[in-house]
Amino acid sequence: MKDRYFLLLACLGLLTLVLFILSLLTGPASLCVSDSLHALLTGRGDAIVLVMREIRLPRALLGVLIGASLGLSGAVLQGYLRNPLAEPGLLGISASASLGAVIAIYTGLSLVFPLALPLMALAGAVIAVFIVQMLAGKGAGVLTIILAGVAVSSLAGAMTSLALNLSPNPFAAMEVVYWMLGSLTDRSMLHVQLAAPFILIGWVLLFSLGRSLDALTLGSDAAASMGVSIKRVQWLAILGTAASVGASTAVSGAIGFVGLIIPHLLRPLVGSQPSKLLPVSALGGASIILAADILVRIIAPGRDLKLGVLTAIVGAPFFLWLVFRTRRTAL
């Protein structure tokens, strides 16, 4: 069983590496593979270096960071909340981060200071965490946290719609809509440097929960009797998700369904032990985002097909299939 698990990790790691290289080699500029890799590694080649290091490399790096964050946080939330439909958007983090970015666009701050957009989005994610914790109160149960997250998500969505409705500038409204669709286009190393520290901190917090999530499969009371602090698990899960997914949303916009789909696809391959699901979900999420980002460049290279649109098109039928399968199991 252990050999099979390590084989799965190796296969997913290899798949992620292959897709990362393909992401570096895919784009509207027709570049020779050898010239592209030579320019990337040596820094020689003028225009080719600019394309590889300033356009394609940041896009591929963000694909790995964001995909892994969505897959990992989805696996942690499903384990902690013991809800197979849990995903990062359930806590209102994605919607609040989107609202922060919308405020930056609506007020014109993003024009004066370009980094205002990701910084405001990150601030929105952090504020969402504290509001959820405040609404849930001390010693909150799983259901209370979910309800608080849904309330924050609904409020953030309503405020975003209000900003679109009242926007006096149609170009600003269009920019808001395009940003909310989710994309890795035109991202730079500055975006990587902004998001990476928060994402890595989030990963550390989420990966530290592996053994606690294993204990929670026996129930909250049994886990508490084994020395697991439920309050600590709650804080680490929410803060880790806020840091990683909030930073991801801050630089890419909203990308849905990945945190829901990936743990479901990989859970049958690793069994019912949540700690084993975390690393494979991270690698699976990275692979899915890299593959989707490659496809948007191939399917409609001149139309700027948004990454979030493609993941939603794939994710919605999967969600319906999941509902149908759950209904059949119940019967």
Distance CA 281, CA 276 (A): 9
Total count of domains within the chain: 1
Give the pLDDT confidence of 157-177 residue by residue, as tens digits.
Answer: 899 888 888 877 777 777 777
pLDDT at 260 over 70: yes
Q: Which residues 6+ apart lie within 8 Å of 281 measured at CB?
A: 71, 72, 74, 75, 262, 263, 266
What pLDDT was estimated at residue 331? 54
Burial class (CB in 10 A: 0-12, 13-18, 19+), 219: exposed
Give the pLDDT confidence of 48-102 residue by residue, as tens digits.
Answer: 888 888 888 999 999 999 999 999 999 999 888 887 778 888 788 888 888 888 8
**DSSP class of residue 271?**
-
Residue 272's nearest CA partner among 15, 5, 40 is 5
Give the pLDDT confidence of 135-152 residue by residue, as tens digits.
Answer: 777 666 777 888 888 889
Q: What is the pLDDT of the chain when averaged over all its residues?
A: 85
Residue 237's nearest CA partner among 258, 270, 279, 207 is 207
Tokens 């170009």 correspond to what residue? 171
Instruction: Provide, rounded to the nearest whole percent, the portion of the chain with pLDDT above 70.
Output: 96
CB 211 within 8 A of CB 275: yes
Distance CA 14, CA 8 (A): 10
Distance CA 261, CA 314 (A): 10
Distance CA 245, CA 254 (A): 10
Q: Which structural domain, as residue segments, surrounds residue 74?
A: 2-330
Identify which has the larger pLDDT, 46 or 287.
Answer: 287
CB 280 within 8 A of CB 4: no
Provide the CATH number for the domain around residue 47. 1.10.3470.10
pTM, rounded to two decimals: 0.89
What pLDDT was estimated at residue 330? 53
Residue 105's nearest CA partner among 176, 185, 160, 188 is 176
DSSP secondary structure string for all residues of 140-176 = --HHHHHHHHHHHHHHHHHHHHHHHHH-S-HHHHHHH
Identify which has the larger pLDDT, 1 or 195.
Answer: 195
Q: Which of 13-22, 46-55, 101-110, 183-192 has the highest mean pLDDT?
A: 13-22
Distance CA 214, CA 274 (A): 6
pLDDT band, very low/low/confident/very high, at 220 (cuts 50, 70, 90): confident
